[in-house]
């Protein structure tokens, strides 16, 4: 499978979201990446369920919803109704991860688990066959435009090894500080999906930048 690109709307123009959604629709991007932050799990507040419902009306590609919230299990049905196709929850925010992953699938969504930079991929040994994807944070979550953490390459290698060892079909997604310079190395290390916010929306020609990401 060639790699997928998921532009993060956190770096889009919130004053004219429809314009940026249209750009992604017409581009070679694969998914919309939507960052939900509650000001508790992470030190920032972004947007929530009503905004996702509004995005869903215009988006013509799957919505990959990254929950940076405490007790995400309270809202599985709500995110499904809002239009989430893929729902990812943080390992650090969920006590009963197996139950939550199955609840996401029960709602008819793809289920993913997210790891903060300090969280070992080895902790996924007993859940890796249950998830559709693993999202590796390559910055500390909360903000766009941060610097990529170099140790992420090692984590991709370790995760790939675990996936192969366990016969899992989970995709590896990388999020934070991804740009056209580090993307080739990330793909080579085993990343299947690249999230990019600033690198796309702050570039002079976002749809051309998406094309450049896809042609790597
Ligand atoms: C950070 C979010 C990211 C963010 C990435 O907490 O999870 O998805 O939007 O933005 P960039 O690509 O600018 O680091
Ligand atoms: Zn994200």
Q: Which long-range contacts (CB under 8 A, 24 or more apart) does 48-55 make?
A: 49/75, 49/78, 49/79, 49/82, 50/82, 52/79, 52/82, 52/83, 52/84, 53/81, 53/82, 53/83, 54/17, 55/9, 55/17, 55/21, 55/83
Backbone phi, psi, residue 53, to 5°: -60, -40
Inform me whether the pLDDT recorded for 1 exceeds 90. no
Distance from the CA of 165 to the center of ligand 1, in angstroms? Answer: 30
| Ligand sitting nearest the alpha carbon of 148 | 1
User: How many structural domains are present in the chain?
Assistant: 1
Which protein residues are within 6 Å of ligand 1, measured from CB?
8, 10-11, 33, 35, 66, 139, 141-146, 175-178, 195-199
Query: In the prediction, which pLDDT does 202 show?
Result: 98
Distance from the CA of 178 to the center of ligand 1, in angstroms? Answer: 8
Domain of 150, in residue numbers = 4-214
Choose which residue among 43, 176, 198 to substitute to test ligand 1 binding: the one with the highest number of ligand atoms within 8 A of its C-beta. 176
Tell me the pLDDT tens digit for each residue of 50-108: 999 999 999 999 999 999 999 999 999 999 999 999 999 999 999 999 999 999 999 99
- Tokens found for residue 64: 């990959």
The percentage of the chain sitting over the pLDDT mark of 90, rounded to a whole number, equals: 100
Q: Which residues have a catalytic role annotated?
A: 35, 175
CATH number at residue 8: 3.20.20.70
Query: In the prediction, which pLDDT does 77 show?
Result: 98
Q: Which atom of ligand 1 is nearest to the CA of 200?
A: 12
């Amino acid at each position: 499978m060639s790699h997928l690109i998921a532009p993060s709307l956190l770096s889009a123009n919130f004053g004219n979201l429809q314009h940026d959604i249209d750009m992604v629709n017409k581009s070679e991007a694969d998914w919309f990446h939507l960052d939900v932050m509650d000001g508790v799990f992470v030190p920032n507040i972004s947007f929530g369920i009503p905004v996702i419902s509004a995005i869903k009306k215009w988006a013509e590609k799957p919505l990959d919803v990254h929950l940076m919230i405490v007790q995400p299990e309270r809202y599985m049905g709500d995110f499904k109704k809002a239009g989430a196709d893929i729902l990812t929850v943080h390992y650090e925010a969920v006590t009963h991860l197996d139950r939550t992953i199955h609840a996401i699938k029960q709602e008819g969504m793809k289920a993913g688990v997210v790891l903060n930079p300090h969280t070992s991929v080895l902790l996924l040994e007993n859940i890796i066959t249950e998830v559709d994807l693993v999202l590796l944070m390559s910055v500390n979550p909360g903000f766009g435009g941060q610097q990529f953490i170099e140790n992420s390459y090692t984590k991709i290698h370790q995760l790939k090894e675990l996936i192969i060892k366990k016969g899992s079909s989970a995709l590896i997604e990388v999020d934070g500080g991804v740009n056209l310079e580090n993307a080739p190395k990330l793909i080579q290390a085993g990343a299947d999906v690249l999230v990019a916010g600033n690198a796309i929306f702050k570039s002079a020609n976002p749809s051309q930048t998406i094309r450049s990401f896809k042609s790597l």
